Amino acid sequence: MDDFAYKDGRLHCEQVLVDAIAEKAGTPVYIYSARTLRSHLRRLNEAFAALKPLVCFSVKSCANLSVLKLLAEEGAGMDVVSGGELARALRAGVPASKCVFAGVGKTDAELEQALRAGIGLLNVESEAEFENLSVIAKRLGIRCDCALRINPDVDPKTHRYTSTGKKETKFGVDLERARAFFDRYGRDEFARLRGLHLHIGSPIYTIEPYIESVKKALALKDELERAGFTIDALDLGGGFGADYTTGQTPPVAEYAKAIVPMLVPHHARGLRMFLEPGRTIVGNAGILLTRVLYMKTSGDKRFAICDAGMQTLLRPSHYEAFHFIWPAAPAAEFIPESRTKIATMPGLSPCDVVGPICESGDFLAIDRALPPLARGDLLAVFTAGAYGMTMASRYNSSPLPAEVLVHGDRFEVVRRRESYDDLMAHELPLGGGAAPRDGAASTPGAGARGGASTSPSRR
């Protein structure tokens, strides 16, 4: 599943002790395993091999350039949803021809940027967007391949905020309108509509919604082909689960086993396949490491107040998402055998794991059974590689955390922790002139929120 494991009672990423990373890079810090990233991408490619898909990593899940570069070197393309993500993909060395561009609200500038770069597939989400794209492509004299994002009206049975395949969401075009869409725009000379795109939600832990939506997409494809259109690209989107609680997530091979046979005959007749996975590649490939600043009790409640909070990892507070959390160096009796066996361990008691932000909604876990904790302990928040750093904010003027990539027995800081100067770099001082660079304020002090808080000693 991943390369984070307790060896001799201490948490390691591959062969690196995570304490060593905290010492060098401070906390909070996101830590990614190169080996896990590679193995997850390979596993996907193997599972879907019969369709030879272009696996376009979803940049929104983890946008660090070093992560993108590593995946690109393994052959991945990129799924982007903004000009910024496209710029990142290109900077990481991914050719635009291996990028797919989705999103309901692409600006004129972003469409022009994608066309000029030579985007591989432009996924269009509405009639109005297509008309705009068509005008821009014609003006620039640039042809591009487009896919229509269809909304198959399938329930992915996931959180309502990330459920995108139901008719009442803003995404794509419903099946009835899709036919009319091709009649109206399917012969555009510059914006060449020749594909279908699906992305029904994230994460999806059951396979049926995929089967249902692929069936609907293929029925539409057949119908469009009978009407004389060429459909030679099918983008299935992303949404495969990550393992937040061991045992609940079907392996990608299970999804593939159900989906691939339906598509093989179409692939044999020239259908190019695209996938846009994010979470299933990077979710388990990353952890967030945070340090306990203070322990506190209030009434019956025990709180571990950490240097990471909703500004660092928004998922628990925004989606009430579960992330397994455990000390990086637990006492001998608390070394976990697996992520499911802990609940029965004697000696655990409920604890709210919270951040420093001034909101009651600032938490990483509520009433979580945890061992005794003390100031200075390091806590690992697992399965944080996807939608962790990319959704981090500077709320409460917290500098963004560092990111570290581990390769075997080495690690490198692939994004340095922000300084206070970074925080204020884009703001003009009152009265004009250059922004002051106050040396004293330039580096968050040890122990400062978001700063390199290696200071509190253990216990």
Query: Would you count residue 277 as binding ligand LLP (CB under 6 A)?
Result: yes
**Strand 144-151 with 191-197, pairing:** parallel
What are the strands, taking DSSP E only, across 322-409? 325-327, 349-354, 363-370, 378-381, 402-407
Q: Which of 58, 151, 163, 454 binds ligand LLP (CB under 6 A)?
A: 58
User: With binding defined as CB under 6 A, does residue 120 bind ligand LLP?
Assistant: no
Of 87, 90, 58, give the one whose Cα is nearest residue 279: 58
**Contact flag: residue 278 with ligand LLP (CB under 6 A):** yes
Q: Which residues pair with 312 in a beta bridge?
A: none
Binding flag, residue 110, ligand LLP (CB under 6 A): no
Interaction mask 318-357, ligand LLP, x per CB under 6 A: -x--------------------------------------
- Closest separation between CB of residue 331 and ligand LLP, Å? 32
Which stretch in 113-121, 182-190, 213-221, 233-241 sits in contact with ligand LLP by CB under 6 A? 233-241
Judge whether 175 and 152 are in contact, CB under 8 Å: yes
Minimum distance, C-beta of residue 438 to ligand LLP, in the bound complex (Å)? 35
Of 313, 325, 310, nearest in space to 381 by CA: 325
Q: Which of 40, 199, 266, 449 binds ligand LLP (CB under 6 A)?
A: 199
281 Ramachandran zone, left/alpha/beta (phi>0; psi -120 to 50) = alpha
What residues have CB less than 8 Å from 200, skipping those under 6 apart?
152, 154, 156, 163, 164, 165, 209, 210, 213, 237, 239
With CB under 6 A as the contact rule, the residue among 83, 203, 209, 286 that binds ligand LLP is 203
CB of 382 to ligand LLP, least distance (A): 14
Q: What positions carry a catalytic annotation?
A: 358
Going through 113-219 in order, the beta strands assigned E by DSSP cover 121-124, 144-151, 173-174, 191-197
- Residues 285 and 76: their CA atoms lie apart, in Å, by 16
Q: What span, in angstroms and rounded, lies between the C-alpha atoms of 343 and 353?
A: 16
CA distance 435 to 340: 51
Residue 198 beta carbon to ligand LLP: minimum distance, rounded to whole angstroms: 9
Residue with tokens 């009206």: 153
Q: With binding defined as CB under 6 A, does residue 302 bind ligand LLP? A: no
Question: How many helices (H) and strands (E) are present in the chain, helices listed first?
Answer: 12, 21
Beta carbons of 28 and 41 less than 8 angstroms apart: no
| Residue 387 within binding range of ligand LLP, rule CB under 6 A | yes
Residue nearest to ligand LLP (CB): 238
String marking each residue 390-419 x if it binds ligand LLP according to CB under 6 A: -x----------------------------
**Is residue 61 within the footprint of ligand LLP (CB under 6 A)?**
yes
Build a one-symbol-per-residue string for 1-30: x at contacts with ligand LLP by CB under 6 A, - elsewhere.
------------------------------
How many residues form the binding site for ligand LLP (CB under 6 A)?
23
Please report whether residue 89 would count as binding ligand LLP according to CB under 6 A. Answer: no
Which one, 198 or 224, has the nearer CB to ligand LLP? 198
CB 120 within 8 A of CB 77: yes
Q: Which residue number, 45 or 58, has a Cβ lying nearer to ligand LLP?
A: 58
* Nearer Cβ to ligand LLP (12/199): 199
What size, in residues, is the chain? Answer: 459
Is residue 202 at the binding interface for ligand LLP, with CB under 6 A as the rule? yes
Does residue 79 bind ligand LLP (CB under 6 A)? yes
Residue closer to ligand LLP, measured from CB, 144 or 242? 242
Based on CB atoms, which residue is closest to ligand LLP, 32 or 387?
387
For 85-121, give one letter per residue: b (16+ CB within 10 A) or e. bbebbbebebebebbbbbbeebeeebbbbbbebebbb
Give yes or no for residue 238 binding ligand LLP (CB under 6 A). Answer: yes
* Helices assigned H by DSSP within 186-251: 208-226
- Which CB atom, from 21 or from 146, has the smaller least distance to ligand LLP? 146
What amino acid is encoded at 359 in this protein? E
When binding is defined by CB under 6 A, the residue of 40, 221, 315, 323 that contacts ligand LLP is: 315
- Please list, in sequence order, all residues whose beta carbon lies within 8 angstroms of the beta carbon of residue 135, skipping any fewer than 6 positions away: none
Q: Is 5 left (phi over 0), alpha (psi -120 to 50) or beta?
A: beta
237 near ligand LLP, judged by CB under 6 A: yes
Nearest CB to ligand LLP, comparing residues 238 and 399: 238
Question: Strand ranges (DSSP E) for 22-89?
Answer: 29-33, 54-58, 77-80
Name the residues that contact ligand LLP, by CB under 6 A: 58, 60-61, 79, 102, 162, 199, 202-203, 237-240, 276-280, 315, 319, 386-387, 391
